[in-house]
Structure 1
Amino acid sequence: MKRELKVPGIAYGGDYNPEQWPEEVWAEDMRLMREAGVSMVSVGIFSWALLEPEEGAYDFSLLDRVLDLLHAHGIAADLATPTAAPPAWFFRAHPEALPVDRDGRRLSYGSRQTFCPSSPAYRAAALRMARALADRYADHPAVVMWHVHNEYGCHNAECYCDESARAFRVWLRARYGDDLATLNEAWGTRFWSQSYYDWDEILPPRATGAVPNPTHRLDWRRFCSDELLSLYEAERRVLLEAAPQTPATTNFMVMHNFDALDYWRWAPKLDIVSNDHYLQSTDPESEIDIALSGDLVRSLAGGPWLLMEHSTGAVNWQPVNRAKGPGELRRNALAHVARGADGIAYFQWRAAKAGAEQWHSAMLPHAGTDSQIWRDVVRLGADLRALAEVRGSVGTAEVAIVWDWNARWAMELPSQPSAELRFQDLVRAWYEPLWRAGVAVDFVRPDADLSAYRLVLAPSVYLVDDEGAANLRGFAERGGTLAVGFHSGAVDENCHVRLGGYPGAFREALGIRTDELFPLLPGESVGLSGGGTGTLWSERVRLCGAESIAAYTTGPLAGIPAVTRHRHGTGVTWYLATLPDPATLAGLLDRVRTEAGVRPVRSTPQGVEAVLRRGPDADYLFLINHTDRPAHVAVAPDATELLTGKALPGSVSVAAGETAVVREPR
């Protein structure tokens, strides 16, 4: 059963925390929300201590008034279960529910998400809270969606306590069929005398004197993701029993180097996929991060999604928290819509004057309505109303990039050939040239259906199981183009090296064989024929049917192929045995995609982002000008610019720093 969000157009709003303010402020909140065009707010995310001041004693009087007030003003509520922040009384009664870190220290309460995900006491209390909310508000007319918990695993993705150890063993017995011999084989425990003869001997990978067993550590990451998922599913079942028609979500965090959860496993469990995204002050081109994040979330959702949190200006949790520049608030929000967001929301509605996030920006800042942020917020509300018809439209990608959390976890374990490899950095290095060229991109699992794509890129798939490897090879065999990055296909799902030469699972399909790896030191590079340099990695490649496209020109591998191309089946495979400098990599990927028949969404001046969403009767072309000069782009002769309502005579002018959204009827 598909449960849809019953908020018209592009939903707009943010986290609303009226409990932080005197009740006389609430009337002003309603008036200003209507002025800004707010249509939905998230309520109650961190209100457990107010809703249940002591165990079993609930007080919903404040929440009753807030929901009634929102409904009276035509504003929908995304009602949260407040289970991300248990109250102090809970931990006084259940100190064993506090998390334990890898070094064996039990943490204290006094913040948020300071609970052990495997704690029976926490689970019982969270489900009681969810059930009380569901029973009271299942039929409230303001409630259009359930917001389950908040940012699962943000601060407590891993707990190493004895209860977590017990739960880990239960998970392992389910995975390995209650057979210790199978587990010992999968973990390679004969190395370093690690064989287990009793399930109770198995512990979480706590701090130890040397390098942990890689498969032990990998299974632990899988368990931690699944353990938190089980909490989401348990709360979701409670809500579903009370309100079978109401959709539920929880907010993902696919970027910011947050890698705790395997969102491919999570996404099918959500009625509506949501994501939180915040800019990094140190990123000089954060618009690329927004695009990559949006494409990844859209791919997880299989279509439109919701942006549950981002910021109007500065955040409070980075070493230096910079405000956004002129027009950046609007560009950021519309870039998320361009990548599939059918809702735009912020943390938070009104900037807090106390607490840990008092210096985090908000829709209504400390300065009030006489501020640039407020003027931008009101303008954005009008923009989103003008884009109502875009809701439900989808992407148009012919290129897919392989993204796999298991591969990421495995590659970033200790004792790799190089500790300098970062999964997300490698993916972004390959993604950037496509973004600059205006090429639409989806993200896929290794075992995904690839029939819709002309080109599949696998920048970093260190770990891949037999099914995923066969799927990627088969894509090329059947006529597709597959490009693979270095150190891919090296190990199976148990982190066992695929013997016979690298790159393991893809060796024959790529028509090459590597017998030794030569990772590069920080700051070290090698020359490449045709110009350019390679960094991070090199390896001794031997051609076994492939042709050399570029070779190393310096270092111990001078003359050895660094980039290869091979005819495989009716398709083509490419291998990059180093990370070329950005210009060289862009040139290579331009050749790869051109040969594969992939074209940009639209030809635009440099610095103008072009993104297409496809509706049933029209295409919606988003043009985001990241430059300080106006840009002109050709469009269909019967097109309309939606933000202004103006008809376009075959072209559109996009002012510096501005955005245009063009409807082109089909």
Structure 2
Amino acid sequence: MLTNNPVLEKKRNFSIPLRKCLLATVTMTLFMQQLIAQSATKFFNNKDLMQVGTYYYPEQWPESNWERDIKKMSDLGFEFTHYGEFAWAVMEPEEGKYNFEWLDKAIALASKYKVKVVLCTPTPTPPVWLTQKHPDVLMVNAEGRTIQHGARQQASWSSKTYRQYIEKIVTVLAKRYGNNPTIWGWQIDNEPSHYGNEYDYSENAQKAFHDWLKKKYQNIDDLNKSWGNAFWSILYNNFEQIRIPNGKELVAQPNPHAVLDFKRFTADEAADFVLYQRDILRKYVKPEQWITTNLMPTYPAVDPLRMKSLDVESYTKYLVAGYDSGHGEQGFRMGSSSSIGFSNDLFRSINGLSGVMELQPGQVNWGLFNPQTMPGAVRMWMYHVMAGGNKFVCNYRFRQPLSGGEQYHYGIMKTDGVTVSRSGDEYIKVINELELLRKAYKPTAFPAILTKRKAAILYSIDSRWEMDNQPQTNQWNYMEHVNRYYNGLKALGSPVDVIDESKDFSAYPFLVVPAFQLLDYKLVDRWRTYVQNGGNLIITCRTGQKDREGHLWEASFQQPILDLIGAEEIYYDHLPVSLKGKISSGNDSFEWNNWGDILKPSTASVWAKYEDQFYKGKAAVLNRKLGLGTVTYIGSDTDDGKLERKMLQKVYQQAGVSTLNLPEGVLVEYCDGFWYGLNYSSQNQNIPVPANGKIIIGQRILKPAEVVVWRE
């Protein structure tokens, strides 16, 4: 949440313009805080810190189990449960014939045992009668295969027929439960996506894409010009001739401008699909019932920033499934420290209210391999969620299923349905510890040192889409690049917001702009003003190579940023995986081979230079002062992030701001008056709890996956 984050005082010497800028920033920040506080109070009680819930599927268990299970849920301390997202076929077994008696009973049992309910719209799983009657509602994958009934997320967001059925079922649900006091909030759909298929190539999507293009370009000549369709004789005579760009249908790569537009269209369709349901719900449900959807934070086809008008932004997070090696030998059992952290700082920053609707409960069944989680890891994740300012956390799921596609997926309860699982014990421990923290809660001012360290990362999903399509090297990974800077900032003890261009940059003393490939001169002017007024801007490689539509500039390469960063020329190099290049900065040496911008300075100082290849001695990192602030350009992308971390540290030192120096995998976070130390590393770590810190939970020296919480 944005709290007390004025532009950094430049060694305490303010000019008159900067004082005015700071006053305006503080005024606007306080105003935004008041709006966020009003929304938070409407839906949540701040002294609760974070509420804990668990998924339950009454339709998947014998009715004779329901009361036993929900009573057990309540006895263990869970404050809410989650019903309905996969239950359409039970709610409406035949078209127009509804069955809600089972759901009425399940909600009544939750009420009896004082467990609140998050009720879901069942739209990720259309019933078979619907898809067989209207097969055109089904999505089509890149191979041209229609995705059939038998799993989930098989429907096309662009199908008007599907939306007609959605409107009916959502309206019935909203009218029936919109004033039920047990319903705490609503979740729309579930992880809106098409999972491994990602994109929809159905005729519904083709038609909707045509409409989207017509709205954007108005006439076909403008589209042809923007897409560069004279190249390879791709020219179109009308919009109806256009097919969704699909590499499976072509002998060469698709037109990159068409691909960029298609990804923008898909993200718009996903957002419209969710907000369409939000609008239906809001007609009938009482204002105190909040509305969200649970998104996968880095799933590339869906953009959470397009859904910022939801009451609460929530996400799904699984860290241990063989995809994330984490930190050190045992990191695969805990995941990376940035996984939850980046998601917290992205989703919280959208509108100030966030939650984690689906958190891994322990071992899962769908990964590359499925290891046991490190003892304590699930508990640590829950504390990380709370440290990130989230209002709730919910695990998937209360009972481990005995049949179906997720039999090996842990629940809070073991397969017997009555015994708490190993990782379930960690949920119960946090629930009990929360009572200590709630008793110790009292509102406090945001610490002054964190105000000075506050940073934002400017996230560009358009640039990500463009670079995913044209990476230029098989070693380029946008999210890994961003996380090198995120991890570097967290190692310095910096609070971070992950923001988009709609935010006020002046609220942050430090602004990191990673690989912002697509931009315009207006944005560069905003950066310049930010720096002149005292901000510290860190720009990284690939930034400014193209305009918003993915065209190279008819000018010097990266022309819009050259004057800003104090450079005369930029060109880039890549190295093979087997070769490591060298970069030096003072007495420090670094390795790189992913991406290297070779820089010719004009007005900037050289902070690092290449030590080999034919450009030995050329600049790799530039820094300049501009007005009251600074601009730093970091031209290389490394594997280990050591160069990036060192340059960030140097920027903070230049600004006169003290920082921490945390080991890899160690985090220190602050939220709601509490400090949190988290150990994602594979070794014991000494957390820098100050001498005046009063430890409430844990201790200073943490084993892997342990937590310490203190107040100052």
Number of the residue aligned with 1:507: 562
Q: TM-score, normalised by structure 1?
A: 0.91
> Which residue of the other structure, out of 622, 647, 651, is the alignment partner of 2:676?
622
Q: Which moved more, 1:526-535 or 1:549-558?
A: 526-535
Kindly indicate which of the two structures has a greater share of residues assigned to helix.
Answer: 2
Per-residue CA deviations over 1:110-150 (Å, capped at 9, x if unaligned) read 11000111111111111111011011111112111111111
Alpha-carbon distance in structure 2 between the residues aligned to 1:603 and 1:620? 20
Alpha-carbon distance in structure 1 between the residues aligned to 2:49 and 2:538? 39
Alpha-carbon distance in structure 2 between the residues aligned to 1:626 and 1:443? 21
Number of the residue aligned with 2:706: 658
Alpha-carbon distance in structure 2 between the residues aligned to 1:573 and 1:146? 44
Which of structures 1 and 2 has the larger relative contact order (alpha carbons within 8 angstroms, sep 6+)? 2
SS at match of 1:532: strand
Matches within 5 A, 1:233-632: 233-245=275-287, 246-255=289-298, 258-266=299-307, 268-280=308-320, 281=322, 282-285=324-327, 286-301=336-351, 303-366=352-415, 368-369=418-419, 371-388=421-438, 398-414=454-470, 416-530=471-585, 531-580=589-638, 581-600=640-659, 608-613=666-671, 615=672, 619-626=673-680, 628-629=683-684, 631=686
Matches within 5 A, 1:208-227: 208-227=250-269
Per-residue CA deviations over 1:19-51 (Å, capped at 9, x if unaligned) read 111112112212221222111111101000100
CA gap 1:321/1:512 in 2 versus in 1, 3 angstroms:
same
1:504, CA displacement in angstroms? Answer: 3.3
Alpha-carbon distance in structure 2 between the residues aligned to 1:606 and 1:538? 24
Matched to 1:158, the amino acid is Y
Alpha-carbon distance in structure 2 between the residues aligned to 1:484 and 1:604? 23
CA gap 1:339/1:168 in 2 versus in 1, 3 angstroms:
same
C-alpha contact (below 8 Å) 1:294/1:340 kept by paired residues:
yes
CA gap 1:604/1:456 in 2 versus in 1, 3 angstroms:
closer
Number of the residue aligned with 1:39: 79
Matched to 1:489, the amino acid is G
Matched to 2:103, the amino acid is L
Alpha-carbon distance in structure 2 between the residues aligned to 1:606 and 1:95? 51
Counterpart check, 1:58 vs 2:98: yes
Alpha-carbon distance in structure 1 between the residues aligned to 2:260 and 2:170? 32
CA gap 1:173/1:11 in 2 versus in 1, 3 angstroms:
same
Per-residue CA deviations over 1:606-652 (Å, capped at 9, x if unaligned) read 76421011x4xxx2211224465473644474x654448xxxxxxx6
Number of the residue aligned with 1:72: 112
C-alpha contact (below 8 Å) 1:398/1:598 kept by paired residues:
no
Alpha-carbon distance in structure 2 between the residues aligned to 1:391 and 1:113? 43
Q: TM-score, normalised by structure 2?
A: 0.86
Alpha-carbon distance in structure 2 between the residues aligned to 1:283 and 1:91? 40
Matched to 2:428, the amino acid is V
Segments of structure 1 that go 5 or more residues without pairing to the other structure are 645-651
Alpha-carbon distance in structure 2 between the residues aligned to 1:341 and 1:565? 36
CA gap 1:111/1:547 in 2 versus in 1, 3 angstroms:
same
Per-residue CA deviations over 1:532-565 (Å, capped at 9, x if unaligned) read 2222122442112112222111112112111111
Matched to 1:439, the amino acid is S
Alpha-carbon distance in structure 2 between the residues aligned to 1:344 and 1:95? 37
CA gap 1:391/1:251 in 2 versus in 1, 3 angstroms:
farther
Segments of structure 2 that go 5 or more residues without pairing to the other structure are 1-37, 328-335
Calculate percent identity across the aligned residue pairs: 28
CA gap 1:370/1:457 in 2 versus in 1, 3 angstroms:
closer
CA gap 1:82/1:522 in 2 versus in 1, 3 angstroms:
same
Matches within 5 A, 1:634-653: 634-635=689-690, 637=692, 640-643=694-697, 653=700
Alpha-carbon distance in structure 1 between the residues aligned to 2:674 and 2:280? 39
Matched to 1:253, the amino acid is M
Number of the residue aligned with 2:5: none
C-alpha contact (below 8 Å) 2:455/2:495 kept by paired residues:
yes
Number of the residue aligned with 2:158: 118
Number of the residue aligned with 1:166: 207
CA gap 1:273/1:388 in 2 versus in 1, 3 angstroms:
farther
CA gap 1:243/1:171 in 2 versus in 1, 3 angstroms:
same
CA gap 1:604/1:117 in 2 versus in 1, 3 angstroms:
closer
1:157, CA displacement in angstroms? Answer: 4.2
Alpha-carbon distance in structure 2 between the residues aligned to 1:65 and 1:632? 49
Q: Pairwise CA RMSD of aligned residues?
A: 2.4
Number of the residue aligned with 2:43: 5
Matched to 2:179, the amino acid is D
CA gap 1:369/1:392 in 2 versus in 1, 3 angstroms:
farther
C-alpha contact (below 8 Å) 1:503/1:513 kept by paired residues:
no
